[in-house]
C-alpha cells in the first residue's frame, strides 16, 4: 500500500501514513440540516465515500464520522447574520423553540441520509448531532478560557486569533498586516476572531452554559465532536474548498490552542460544482437537488459517474448536456456487464485480471485519480483478449471503490409496452428495406416514450432512457 494524498495543510502530495497501523480515522464536515442539500453539496460526500472505499479496498479498517449541524451555523461563515436553522424554522413555519428545532432537524437529516443511500454512499460509523455534544463543546470552550484564548463581548464568547502566530496556516492564508490585524468590528478585537458561544438574542432559543443562554459556534462543534469520536489527532479531515479560509482554519486554531497537538494529520478538500451563474449555492438560488435530477429522468448513479469523470480537486461545470453524456456512458457500462452475465451461464472459473487490477490500484492510490480509474475500466471493457467472465469479475472488484452498482442494471427493460414493441417492429421493417430516414424517425418516437434503441450485430437493443 502506497497511497498518496494531496494534503492542503502542506500543499503537497504526500504518502499517507496512518496513526495506527491498519486503521484510518476520518471526519467529514456534514450538512447544516435547514434545507435540502443540492448536488454541489453532495459532491463532498461522494468524494468522502470514494476515500473510504479506497481505504477499505486496501484492507484498512475505517472509522468514519459525518456530523450533523443542527444549530450554530450562521448565514455568514464569519459569524454574522441569522442562524441557518432559525432561517429554516421561519421558512417552514415551525416554532422558534427547541421542539421546532428538532422537527426541522429530523426532516432534513432524513432527506440527506436518503440522498446518500440513493447515491450509494456508505453510512459512516457515527452521524453525531451538534446538540448531542453540548458538554464536550462547553468543556472545550472552558479549556480555551482557562488558557487565555477567549474574550467576551455583548453577543458571545470569542476566540482571540491574535494569540496565535500561525493562524491561517491551512491553505497558506496570508497573515494580516500589523496595521490591520486588530481591526475592531462589532466589538471584536479582530475581524478574524470567531465565536465560540453565541448568546441568544431573545434568551429563549438556546441552551444553558456558564456564559448564559445560547448555542455553540459552528467551528467549536466540529472540533469537539471529532475529538470525542476519533481522538486528537486523527488521520484525515475533509470538506469543500470553501471550508479552508474560515471553518477549517478556526477548527485548527481552537483545537491546537486547547490541547497543544494537531487536530488532523491530513486535510483534503474537494472543488466546487459550478453552473452558468458561478458556484452552486443556496444563497445564490441556483441550487439543483438530487430529486430534480430524478424528476428529469436521470439515474442518481449517473450523477455519481459524472463526478468520477473529474478529479475531486478539479472544478466541475454542471450542464444537463454533460450529465446526459455521462448517463449514456454509464448505461453502456451497465449493459456490458449485464451482457457478460448472460455469457457466464456455464463458466466454472472466474479470475481477476491482475494486470488491469494493478493499473486500477495505481490510479486510485494516486490521490484518488478516478478519471484514470475510469479509463482503466473502459480499456478493460474493450479488450477482446480478456474473457467476458473475467471482465465482469474484475469490474465488480473495481466497483468496490467506484460504487456504481454495476452488478444491477436499472436500465434493463423487462416489460416492453405494446406501443413500443410495435414501433420496434416497424423500425426493423424500415431498416430491412433500407428506409433509414423512417428508421430514424421511429427511433425518436421510441425515445419520446422513454426508451433508447441501439443497433447491434444481434439486432435492436432497447433500454430505458
Confidence of residue 239 (pLDDT cuts 50, 70, 90): very high
Are residues 346 and 436 both part of a single domain? no
Q: What is the CATH number of the domain that holds 218?
A: 3.40.50.620
- In which residue are the cell numbers 478529479 written? 311
pLDDT tens digit string along 6-23? 999 999 999 999 999 999
| Same domain, yes or no: 126 and 90 | yes
pLDDT band at 416, cuts 50/70/90? confident
Structural domain includes residue 226: yes
pLDDT beyond 70 at 330: yes
Q: Does 1 score more than 70 pLDDT?
A: no
Q: Does 125 map to a domain?
A: yes
Do residues 239 and 384 share a domain?
A: no
Of the ranges 249-263, 385-399, 429-443, which one carries the lowest mean pLDDT score?
A: 429-443
Q: Is residue 435 part of a domain?
A: yes
Q: How far apart are CA 255 and CA 371, in angstroms?
A: 36
pLDDT digits (tens, 9 = 90+) for 65-87: 999 999 888 766 656 667 888 88
* 74-76 vs 61-66, strand pairing mode: unpaired
In a domain, 320, yes or no: no
**347 pLDDT above the threshold of 70:** no
Contact 218, 242 (CB under 8 A): no
Q: Which three cell numbers stand for residue 27?
A: 471526519
- Closest of 234, 224, 228, 229 to residue 263, by C-alpha: 234
The verdict on 422 and 388 lying in the same domain is no
Q: In terms of domains, do 117 and 30 share one?
A: yes
In a domain, 9, yes or no: no
Kindly report the CA angle at 10 between 43 and 261, in degrees rounded to 5?
A: 95
Domain with 357 in it: 326-402
Shared domain check, 171 and 210:
yes
CB 391 within 8 A of CB 376: no
Residue 231 lies in a domain: yes
What is the average per-residue pLDDT within 396-405? 97
Asked if 389 and 456 sit in the same domain, the reply is no
**What is residue 141's predicted lDDT score, i.e. its pLDDT?**
98
Average pLDDT of span 324-348: 82
Residue 172 located in a structural domain: yes
pLDDT band at 180 (very low <50, low <70, confident <90, very high): very low
Residue 268 pLDDT more than 50?
Answer: yes
Residue 356 in domain: yes
Domain boundary among 255, 284, 313: 284
Q: Residue 25 in contact with residue 236, Cβ under 8 Å?
A: yes
Residues 244 and 339 in one domain: no
Is the pLDDT reported for residue 461 higher than 80? no
d(CA 367, CA 384): 30
Q: Rounded distance, CA 356 to CA 363, Å?
A: 11
Report whether pLDDT(200) > 80: yes
Q: Which of 402, 434, 449 is the last residue of a domain?
A: 402
Q: What is the mean pLDDT of residues 410-420?
A: 70
Q: What is the average pLDDT score of the chain?
A: 88
pLDDT at 177: 41
Considering the domain architecture, whether residues 444 and 393 belong to the same structural domain is answered as no
269, β-bridge pairs: 239
Domain boundary (250, 284, 318) is at 284
Q: Across residues 36-51, what is the average pLDDT?
A: 96
> What domain count does the chain have?
3
Model confidence over 105-131: pLDDT tens digits? Answer: 999 999 999 999 999 999 999 999 999
Are 272 and 365 in the same domain?
no
Tell which residue, 383, 374, 381, 372, has the closest CA to residue 402.
Answer: 374
pLDDT-wise least confident of 114-123, 128-137, 213-222, 343-352: 343-352
User: If pLDDT is split at 50, 70 and 90, which confidence band does 171 have?
Assistant: confident
Examine the domain organization and report whether 108 and 137 are in the same domain. yes
Q: Residue 445 — very low, low, confident or very high, per pLDDT cuts 50/70/90?
A: confident
Q: CA 300, CA 314: separation in Å to the nearest integer? A: 21
Do 130 and 269 share a domain, yes or no? yes
Average pLDDT estimate for 153-158: 94
Amino acid at each position: 500500500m502506497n497511497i498518496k494524498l494531496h494534503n492542503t495543510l502542506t500543499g503537497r502530495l504526500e504518502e499517507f501514513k496512518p496513526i495506527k497501523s491498519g486503521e484510518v480515522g476520518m471526519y467529514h464536515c456534514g450538512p447544516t440540516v435547514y434545507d435540502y442539500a443540492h448536488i454541489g453539496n453532495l459532491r463532498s460526500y461522494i468524494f468522502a465515500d470514494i476515500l473510504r472505499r479506497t481505504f477499505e479496498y486496501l484492507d484498512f479498517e475505517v472509522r468514519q464520522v459525518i456530523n450533523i449541524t443542527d444549530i450554530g451555523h450562521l448565514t455568514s461563515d464569519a459569524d454574522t447574520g441569522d442562524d441557518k436553522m432559525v432561517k429554516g424554522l421561519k421558512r417552514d413555519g415551525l416554532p422558534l423553540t427547541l421542539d421546532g428545532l428538532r422537527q426541522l432537524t429530523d426532516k432534513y437529516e432524513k432527506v440527506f441520509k436518503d440522498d446518500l443511500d440513493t447515491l450509494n454512499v456508505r453510512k459512516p460509523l457515527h452521524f453525531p448531532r451538534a446538540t448531542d455534544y453540548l458538554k464536550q463543546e462547553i468543556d472545550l470552550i472552558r479549556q480555551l478560557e482557562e488558557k487565555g484564548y477567549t474574550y467576551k463581548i455583548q453577543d458571545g464568547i470569542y476566540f482571540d486569533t491574535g494569540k496565535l502566530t500561525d493562524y491561517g496556516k491551512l491553505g497558506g492564508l496570508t497573515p494580516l498586516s500589523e496595521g490591520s490585524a486588530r481591526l475592531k468590528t462589532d466589538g471584536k478585537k479582530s475581524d478574524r476572531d470567531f465565536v465560540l458561544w453565541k448568546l441568544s438574542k431573545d434568551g429563549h432559543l438556546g441552551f444553558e452554559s456558564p456564559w448564559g443562554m445560547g448555542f455553540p459556534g459552528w467551528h467549536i462543534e466540529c472540533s469537539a465532536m471529532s475529538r470525542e469520536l476519533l481522538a486528537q489527532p486523527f488521520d484525515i479531515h475533509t470538506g469543500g474548498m470553501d471550508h479552508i479560509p474560515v471553518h477549517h482554519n478556526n477548527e485548527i486554531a481552537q483545537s491546537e490552542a486547547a490541547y497543544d497537538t494537531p487536530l488532523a494529520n491530513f486535510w483534503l478538500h474537494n472543488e466546487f460544482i459550478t453552473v452558468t451563474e458561478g458556484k452552486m449555492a443556496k444563497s445564490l438560488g441556483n441550487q439543483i437537488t438530487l430529486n430534480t435530477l430524478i424528476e428529469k429522468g436521470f439515474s442518481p448513479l449517473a450523477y455519481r459517474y459524472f463526478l468520477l469523470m473529474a478529479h475531486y480537486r478539479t472544478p466541475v461545470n454542471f450542464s444537463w448536456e454533460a450529465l446526459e453524456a455521462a448517463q449514456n456512458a454509464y448505461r453502456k457500462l451497465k449493459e456490458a456487464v449485464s451482457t457478460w452475465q448472460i455469457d457466464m451461464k456455464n463458466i466454472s472459473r472466474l479470475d481477476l485480471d491482475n494486470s488491469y487490477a494493478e493499473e486500477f490500484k495505481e490510479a486510485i492510490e494516486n490521490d484518488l485519480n478516478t478519471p484514470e480509474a475510469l479509463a482503466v475500466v473502459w480499456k478493460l471493457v474493450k479488450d477482446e483478449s480478456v474473457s467476458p467472465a473475467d471482465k465482469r469479475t474484475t469490474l465488480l472488484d473495481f466497483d468496490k471503490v467506484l460504487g456504481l452498482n454495476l452488478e444491477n442494471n436499472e436500465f434493463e427493460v423487462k416489460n416492453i409496452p405494446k406501443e413500443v414493441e410495435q414501433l420496434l417492429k416497424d423500425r426493423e421493417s424500415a431498416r430491412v428495406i433500407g428506409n433509414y430516414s423512417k428508421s430514424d424517425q421511429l427511433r425518436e418516437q421510441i425515445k419520446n416514450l422513454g426508451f433508447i434503441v441501439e443497433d447491434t450485430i444481434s439486432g435492436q437493443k432497447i433500454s430505458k432512457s
